Amino acid sequence: MAAFVSTEVDDHGVATLHMQDEAGRNAFSEAFVQELVTHLEGLSRPDVKVAILRGLDEVFSAGGDRSVLMGLAEGRVAPYDLVLTRSLLEVPIPTVAAMAGHAVGGGLVFGLACDIVILGEESRYSCNFMDMGFTPGMGTTRLLQTVLGEHISAEMMYGCQYFKGKHFAGRSLVNYVEPAAKVEARARKVAMRMTDKPRFALELLKRTLSLPRRRAFEEARTMESLMHEICFANPETQARIRENYTPTGVGVPPEDQGGSNEESS
């Protein structure tokens, strides 16, 4: 069975964590998450000074897997079991999200939880939890505000629109919005500026700078779990997941699905 995730570390101490589940479009299935968490934990190795997270060329991550979402709706999976965002926030060295491809729902917030964020200007990003009939999870309600601001994040969470990366240039706190083909090169350039710094100093600074996001995540996680208990107890949620979730459709911008829920700017 092919690996869902791989990690390569170069001689400079730059680790590239590659999410590469083409069949699942990097959706967060149980098996995918287990492998991804193992690789995140592996970034603690002493020869790594900075990590770049990348996805497929077309899709960074399609967010929640259907089986996991149905498990939540049917009570087989507890909301507090979903701690992928925490695993990323706890990585001891700086992380750079090279989000060249589309990112949806939990896949979007996973990338935004990195220390430095680079979007593809022609790729599309959406927070589509409410289309599935339930409120956002994975710390989204606070972490999205941290990066995109209160009002932009509210529009995305309520309306579930897809926005091109160029929409966020000058409107958010993402570091760079580049043509998708240049995202990884930009991430590499940013990462290389950190490689001559002492590892212990990078760890100290990372721990300090990430503290507000880690606190925001824990606060959001508590409230999101309570909201999920209410949402997933409602039969409408299961029906909406079955109706709106398609294995090939998640992560594909609406114009490619024949839909209209998109802001092209």
Residues annotated as part of the active site? 228
Contact predicate 27/62, CB 8 Å: yes
Which string of DSSP letters, residue by residue, matches 90-143? T-SS-EEEEE-SEEETHHHHHHHTSSEEEEETTSEEE--GGGGTS---TTHHHH
User: Long-range pairs for 233-238 at CB < 8 Å and ≥24 separation?
Assistant: 234/133, 236/133, 237/73, 237/132, 237/133, 237/134, 238/70, 238/73, 238/74
Bridge partners, 54 (sequence order):
18, 98
Q: What angle do CA 90, 95, 99 make, to 5 degrees?
A: 120
Amino acid sitting at position 66: R
Contact predicate 18/39, CB 8 Å: no
Residue entry with tokens 């990097």? 26
